[in-house]
Structure 1
Amino acid sequence: MAATTGDNEPVLPPAIENAWGLRDRPPKGPRPGMSVPGIVDAAVRVADADGLAAVSMSRVAKELGAATMALYRYVGSKDELLMLMVDVGYGPSPGPPPPGTDWRAGLTRWAWAEHDALRQRSWLLHVPITGPPITPQQLGWMEDGLRCLDGSTLAESEKMSVLLLLTGYVRNEATLTSQVAEGSRATGVEPNEMMPAYGRLVARLIDPARFPALHRVLAAGVLNQDDDPDDEFTFGLDRILDGVEALIQRRAG
């Protein structure tokens, strides 16, 4: 839990103060032009180019042509830097649903926006999640997702649960797609050949009497070609929204 002041007000961590522009850190020393946004942008450039593992305070300092210790006058730790990078990396939220958009179309639009953000910057998936979102742009994403459910029959707690379920699905699918791509690069097997190669291997290994259900999948040719990741994402997203729709109808009596 966050620390509190004597009047029970929460004490904002430095990273949160920086993200919301509430922390006054005037430039000091030989690099008066350095700023928190500039440091975060440099770190994002490193991650975009070479992955999250390449991000270190020394590497970011080198990117800026500054001494490593100079960064600590603005960003207190690497963990603080990572939190700020995530806020910038996701980018602005997709905005509230356009007028006349029903809840299902709104959440579909929202989920695809997050999907595209994570596909564009897969390093975001490697940043540890240490708590609920609290930075400006991430709260903007939450706000826009919740607004998709305005006027529905769901309780406010259920709206939050829907968003948690949906973003968990999006992150899981993005992680799977990213890891398959990494595996493809490591093995030299083209992504569209991975599933057929897997199917041939499984066919050599299984006994139809022991694995009848899997044998039927093979016999139907399900593994003969690679699925389009977007088709798989759409299928799962639609099934989740079907469940949300059933809940909304139940709440409506």
Structure 2
Amino acid sequence: VAAPSVPVTIALEEKISVSMTREGGVDSADVKGTLTLTANTEAGSAAVVSINKDVLSRTCKSGWTFSTHPKVDKAKYGKGGVLALKKGGFPVARPVGVLRWGYSSEDAAPITVNCWPEDDGSGGAINVNIEFELNRTDVVLSDVNIVLPLGTTDPPAVESIDGQYKHDPGRGMLCWHHDVVDENNASGSLEFSIAGSDVDAFFPVQVMFKSETLYCPVEVTSVVSSANGASIPNAISKSLVPDAYQCA
């Protein structure tokens, strides 16, 4: 791995856990976020980070929680959104989570899935209709995989599909794939039939994706040195990934 080319790297990361009903309703949705700073050089260890706390105070009210690391100066953060250590500098080459946030609300689920297996009446096959819907058009999801167990190693007979699918006979799983789900590709459906008689075999359905769209509108406004106030070059990344996201 190449050494980082800047004195400071900052990762804004969120993990989301969602539990859905089989009808696509959301039982619970929890977002947990962290701002992690890594000092890559001695100059980087003197970093003081400012964020847009005024925006967070205005927009992140009901359902939101924020907390700073115990070593962060709470007074400076409370006054102006400044994330500075009470004393000393950041350890070099060791990531430190300096700010955490959380949000719990059913409306946090960016995508919902409705899976509907039905016996075809013959007693030997099941028809499955499954659909997804993007609930938040401000979010762009990439590499979306909706994975469901089939209860058999037999291949499914796909009647119609938006996107692509892959059958894994070894694990008895079907993966329904979309490169991107966004406001231009906000819903889709898949219909297939397969040998079987147990409509419960197709659960839990799991959803996986990647996104650079955070729920928390946190932005780093400056990174300066505690020694002289000079700006410190930095690299910032954002990511949202599912922790546990399923329809059971």
With the length of structure 2 as denominator, give the TM-score of the two structures: 0.27
Write 1 or 2 for the structure with the bigger share of strand: 2
User: Which is bigger in relative contact order (C-alpha 8 A, separation at least 6)?
Assistant: 2
Write 1 or 2 for the structure with the bigger share of helix: 1
